[in-house]
Structure 1
Amino acid sequence: MSTALTELLRDWMPHQRWFGGKGREWAEVTEEGFFLSRTEPVVSVHRVRVGYTDGATETYLVPLSWRAHPEEELSSAFIGAVPGADRENYAYDAMRDRDATVPWLTHLVAASTVGPMHFHPAGVASIPDGAPGDIVSTEQSNTSLVYGQDAIFKLFRRLEPGLNPDVEIHDALRRTENKHIAPLLGHIEIDEPGAEPATAAMLQTFVRGASDGWRLATASVRDLYAEGDLHADEVGGDFAADSERLGAATASVHADLAQVLPSEPADREWFGATAQAMAARLEQALAVVPQLEEHLAGLRAVYARVADSPETVLRQRVHGDLHLGQVLRTATGWVVLDFEGEPARPLAERRQLDSPLRDVAGMLRSFDYAARHMLVEQPGDPQRAYRAQEWAVRNRGAFCTGYSAASGMDPCGDSPLLRAFEADKAVYECVYEARNRPHWLMIPLHSLSRLTAEA
């Protein structure tokens, strides 16, 4: 049954960065909510279920703050007005209303149960109760708030039954005291009818004074482009030492994950299923990116080598979506963030055992992106293209050197699985760029030329 609120949400949600159903036709929308706080401003939390015309459904978590009068300073967070018994009520995005962000940590400190929502403090450090949170503007599939200098809160917008890997892995790694993660301070679950509770949010220690890996890497590339007569190892902003340390940090996290969570040797069936899944994703991608046809035979050959690969692989829990935007450099080293995997994949799939080479491939692809993203502006500049390739090769090699030194295993040798993971990721990138940044499509397509030529 349609209500004034569901109609507002139907209009508002497709324009939010975290909404994953952009471009899909809605068949219906329903919502159910409860009050998180009845003080001023009133805060309610809504589970919004969207049904699409293709039969699929998704559930999103939408916290709202309610005001008796319009608030000019909250105009960018305004959703709409809903008629009440004696006046209109004004609904705002509660994650962008600072006064409405306080109850999350208050309930977490108290280990509350509010309606279907359960708050679980980790009990390892103090939680900044009473402080408001400031929204992190760069978030995409989720929404994060920073509470002062102490904690960062992540709201998982799309709900799925089961424990989110980000919470599960951070909780497990806490026992190892791994220095390359930000400690978990607590998490929130919400009951799902007839299923396991879904993870609604998590709270972590905020990493102070950290620099984003993507920004550092791309600054290094800009330094190289600015020095026309110097090689990558001669430029003041050379990134290779950081890449090597990042490889060592990645190996450390992988080793501890294998220690505290299940692992097992990969059998022939797993290799075959992995190759088959990659081939299936390729066929789906062809419908979106016709340019993949040029690489079709080469990609199929790359994937076929996986099915017949003699390499030994230990399947374990991994990051699942590792790239330069998921790591922070601090004064003491690298910190790895966001262990939830690719948000577009089903949660059960993201919790499956996998090869650490998937994470290695993700980071290698990220080095290629960092090196080539500025070529989008000048695609016909052969000098820039040469220097981009030089930077990518140097930093990919440094990452592998660091990983090998820390783990005793060279992740970047002649591994059919690594090449296939890279190619599979590049195919995924082609689909993303075709839909969102068509002028960037040249980056993954160039990589596929390299990967299939080496097959």
Structure 2
Amino acid sequence: MSEAVTRPGITTDALLASLDPLLRGWLPRQRWFAGKGRPVSGFHLVTATELLPPTARLGLLHLLVRVDQPLIPGRGGATTAQPADCYQLLLGVRRELPPRLAPALIGHVTEGPLAGFTVYEALHDPRLADFLLEALRMRARVGKLRFERAMGRDIGEGLVPRVLAAEQSNSSLVYGDTYILKLFRRIVPGLNPDLELPLKLAREDCAQVPAPAAWFLADLPDDVNVLGVLQPYLKGTTDGWDLALRRLTEGADFSGEARALGRATADVHLALARALPTVTLGRAQVELIAEGMAERLDAAAGAVPALLPYAKALRTAFDALADLAAEGTTWTAQRVHGDLHLGQFLRSPSGDWSLIDFEGEPSRPLAERRMPQPAVRDVAGMLRSFDYAARSAEPWSPRWAGECRAAYCAGYAEVSGRDPRTDPVVLRAYETDKAVYEVLYEARHRPDWLPVPLAAVHRLASNGPATNGPATEAH
């Protein structure tokens, strides 16, 4: 492994200048680029590491790049400052690009230290993908990059890599149906929950969550930055979303699987509560949570006019939560998944469920994603996911959704000892908050899906039950 960050005489400014014209056109087109809709005004290199120094045949550059974009106009012409996002880039460098790598082309460099070279997305090059796995296997240190491997874990050689096309906010490489390497694209300082929580759960022998085999980080002055995690590849599994849609298409029952999903969720929650501290949320903390929900509602209603007629009624869900706290009710908060939905669960051919992707909602600050929260937040996410699945089929089947939601809560109660439906105020608040988030997301990214969360908004604004099923008691 080379220890040089850049070759003598090559400055990071010169390297960036040579890549700038190419990155301006290529970055905004990537699925994982968060700043779509705003032009790129500049770049700043955080780190530049030559994993393989460019030669006439092959090179591999690892970059952490901050992307400057214009301020977002706000109400009344005001502008909202946005911190520059930092992205992880892995760039292959060759004099000539073989035809098989043509779809990975970024561009041809015309000036600077890489003049005359062709730059491309390195993940599509098996030789460069092999290098990443070897670095993890050998626990390499290259510049500010540190590759680590779980104690006692041997990583085999000769595993053929391929890019997984299904990723959106990140990128993944599968190695020989044995491992999957998740590469985080948008990098924030601190310990990413997608490494932190599976490591903690492995120590609790939590069978539902695959244990990390290896990972790599960037050691920077402000904090450690998690760049990628290697986990076992669960070959032959089907994700919960695809399975639910298949059952819907067949007109088949899904409540048995929903019940198993509830049990699996509770198993993970109990393991997280054992592995990490829990806290008690009193009046002050719950009022802050309710205020945050109300603020997100106001912001969403300002951005999506279709939400405005429901805003006043939706706010009552958050007011009721704050009122309950004022009466002395408390809740336990713990670490949770943070972005739970059917697509995060994988079902093995034997029928067992595994839970993946503990990163949380990438749009939320890392500190918030790592805070203890009521476990019902994850439950609300799953209830919304059953509704999404049901409404994606024609005709819309409210009975199917209701049966799944009720079975999920019943399964959760079997393991946890507490049915989420016995706390309807907090469940309604969290499901309302999730539906408001969905309205904003769909309006921005998938307008055709907007009727799905709006239907939930209509029900929740009418004070409809957070889940179908038996009548519940007030907490």
Deviation, 1:307, is 1.0
Cα deviation 1:253-308 (Å, max 9, x = unaligned): 00000001111111111110111111111111123210001111111111111112
Tell me the residue number matched to 1:162. Answer: 190
Q: Determine the C-alpha separation between the residues in 2 that align with 1:312 and 1:408.
A: 18
Tell me the residue number matched to 1:189. Answer: 217
Q: How many residues align?
A: 432
- For the pair 1:396 / 2:415, whether they are aligned, the reply is no
CA contact (8 A) 2:88 2:185 kept: yes
Tell me the residue number matched to 1:232. Answer: none
SS of 1:321's partner is coil
Of the three residues 134, 151, 169, the one matched with 1:141 is 169
- For the pair 1:123 / 2:151, whether they are aligned, the reply is yes
Q: Determine the C-alpha separation between the residues in 1 that align with 2:115 and 2:187.
A: 33
TM-score (norm 1): 0.92
- For the pair 1:271 / 2:298, whether they are aligned, the reply is no
SS of 1:403's partner is helix
Summarize the alignment of residues 100-249 of structure 1 with structure 2, pairs less than 5 Å apart: 100-192=128-220, 194-224=221-251, 237-249=252-264
TM-score (norm 2): 0.88
CA contact (8 A) 2:18 2:114 kept: no
Deviation, 1:415, is 2.2
Tell me the residue number matched to 1:230. Answer: none
Deviation, 1:392, is 0.4
Q: Determine the C-alpha separation between the residues in 2 that align with 1:188 and 1:171.
A: 14
Tell me the residue number matched to 1:6. Answer: 20
Tell me the residue number matched to 1:379. Answer: none
Tell me the residue number matched to 1:23. Answer: 37
Tell me the residue number matched to 2:451. Answer: 442
RMSD after superposition: 1.6
Residues 82, 265 of structure 1: CA spacing in aligned structure 2 closer, same or farther, 3 A cutoff?
same
Q: Determine the C-alpha separation between the residues in 1 that align with 2:156 and 2:194.
A: 21
State the AA in 2 paired with 1:309.
Answer: L
Tell me the residue number matched to 1:351. Answer: 370
Q: Determine the C-alpha separation between the residues in 1 that align with 2:134 and 2:158.
A: 6
Residues 124, 393 of structure 1: CA spacing in aligned structure 2 closer, same or farther, 3 A cutoff?
farther
Q: Determine the C-alpha separation between the residues in 2 that align with 1:50 and 1:249.
A: 40
SS of 1:404's partner is helix
Q: Determine the C-alpha separation between the residues in 1 that align with 2:124 and 2:114.
A: 27
Deviation, 1:241, is 0.6
Q: Determine the C-alpha separation between the residues in 2 that align with 1:121 and 1:271.
A: 40
CA contact (8 A) 1:128 1:150 kept: no
Cα deviation 1:325-378 (Å, max 9, x = unaligned): 111011141100001100111111110111110100000000000000135xxx
CA contact (8 A) 2:18 2:115 kept: no
Residues 420, 86 of structure 1: CA spacing in aligned structure 2 closer, same or farther, 3 A cutoff?
closer
CA contact (8 A) 1:128 1:151 kept: no
Q: Determine the C-alpha separation between the residues in 1 that align with 2:97 and 2:311.
A: 56
Q: Determine the C-alpha separation between the residues in 2 that align with 1:208 and 1:411.
A: 33
Structure 2: any 5+ residue segments left out of the alignment? 1-12, 72-80, 465-475
Structure 1: any 5+ residue segments left out of the alignment? 225-236, 376-383
Deviation, 1:212, is 1.0
State the AA in 2 paired with 1:22.
Answer: K
- For the pair 1:368 / 2:374, whether they are aligned, the reply is no
CA contact (8 A) 1:271 1:309 kept: no
Q: Determine the C-alpha separation between the residues in 1 that align with 2:247 and 2:290.
A: 36
Residues 86, 52 of structure 1: CA spacing in aligned structure 2 closer, same or farther, 3 A cutoff?
closer
- For the pair 1:423 / 2:423, whether they are aligned, the reply is no
CA contact (8 A) 2:44 2:67 kept: yes
Deviation, 1:315, is 0.6
Q: Determine the C-alpha separation between the residues in 2 that align with 1:8 and 1:130.
A: 33
Large movers: runs of 4+ above 4 Å: 84-87
Summarize the alignment of residues 319-330 of structure 1 with structure 2, pairs less than 5 Å apart: 319-330=337-348
SS of 1:309's partner is helix
CA contact (8 A) 2:302 2:308 kept: no
Q: Determine the C-alpha separation between the residues in 2 that align with 1:85 and 1:108.
A: 29
Of the three residues 66, 83, 92, the one matched with 1:49 is 66
CA contact (8 A) 1:105 1:128 kept: no
Deviation, 1:125, is 2.6
